[in-house]
């Protein structure tokens, strides 16, 4: 049964299937984060592979993604102000939400 976070409103969902997808995804998210004058509407969903063989792979990719994202924001002299939620998105994916507190608060009030 999918989590209620599967309905969470996001600017974009990025499906990371391989480690080679991380760089592109980080660049895209950092560009969006830096471009927003006020980051109170920032929200992205990252999908990572989920099956018995890929659990360790998904964890490694998630850690690599997180490190790259924070490093890139620091290179732009931006302090990350995002909350995160990790959840089971569906049978094939883990979901990872990165969003501003304001987006989370609006979602919880509506839900």
Closest CA to 68 of 14, 106, 108, 109: 14
pLDDT at 4 over 90: no
CATH number of the domain where residue 65 is located: 3.30.110.20
DSSP state of 111: -
The four Cα atoms 102, 76, 67, 106 give a dihedral, to 10 degrees, of 10
Listed in sequence order, the residues at least 6 apart from 105 whose beta carbon sits closer than 8 Å to its beta carbon are: none
pLDDT at 110: 80
Give the chain's mean pLDDT: 88
Domain span holding position 12:
4-110
Overall domain count for the chain: 1
- At 37-87, the pLDDT tens digits run 566 788 999 999 987 676 788 888 999 999 999 999 999 998 888 899 999
Tokens of 69: 């994202």
Give the integer Cα–Cα distance in Å for 21 and 13.
13
């Amino acid at each position: 049964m999918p989590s209620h976070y599967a309905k969470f409103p996001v600017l974009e969902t990025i499906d990371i299937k391989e480690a080679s997808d991380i760089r592109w995804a980080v660049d895209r998210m950092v560009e969006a984060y830096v471009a927003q004058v006020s980051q109170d509407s920032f929200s992205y969903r990252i999908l990572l592979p989920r099956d018995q063989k890929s659990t360790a792979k998904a964890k490694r990719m998630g850690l690599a993604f997180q490190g790259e994202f924070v490093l890139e924001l620091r290179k732009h002299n931006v302090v990350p102000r995002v909350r995160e939620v990790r959840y089971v998105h569906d049978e094939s994916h883990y979901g990872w939400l990165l969003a501003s507190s304001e987006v989370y608060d609006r979602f919880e009030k509506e839900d």
